[in-house]
Amino acid sequence: MYKYLFILLLFAAQRSMAQADSSGVIVTKDPRVDLLVRKQIAINEETTRESRRNIPGFRIQVLNSPDRNKVYAAKVKVYQEFPDWKPYLLYQPPNYKLRVGDFKTQDEADAALQQLSRLFPSGLYVIRDVIEVKLSDVQRPDSTN
């Protein structure tokens, strides 16, 4: 019995000394790891692009009516007079709502409200909404500007 215990202790001591001698570990990285990292970065960029396009901002509510034709007519007016502002048509039963623009600040929305008041003299107001922005306008998360 003591013989086996001695051999076991000798083996354990030799093993601990072997670990102490190998303090300089050399790791060789496979170049395919860098390729996988770049691929994962591209996948993350693609999957988060849509969430970066939508940010909190302001829109102008032009019309709120149960008459769909009236709201569509107002949408056409907005398209004709202000082609740069995108109109959004929402249906929240029983009403149709027409909202216009993607404004980042309250001041931008107020200036647009003044212009829209020529076409629609009443019922306009600025609301907080989630707006769409161009990817070129959104700062990338990895940039340090």
55/133 Cα distance (integer angstroms) = 7
40-94 confidence digits (pLDDT tens)? 988 888 877 666 678 899 999 999 999 999 999 999 999 999 998 899 999 999 9
Q: What is the pLDDT of residue 88?
A: 92
Domain spans of the chain, in order of start:
55-133
Hey, is 145 helix, strand or coil?
coil
88-135 confidence digits (pLDDT tens)? 999 999 999 999 999 999 999 999 999 999 888 888 999 999 898 876
What predicted TM-score, i.e. pTM, was given to this entire model? Answer: 0.58
Pick the CATH number of 55-133 from 3.30.365.10, 3.90.420.10, 3.30.70.1070, 3.40.50.970: 3.30.70.1070
Q: Taking a C-beta distance cutoff of 8 angstroms, is the pair 61, 128 a contact?
A: no
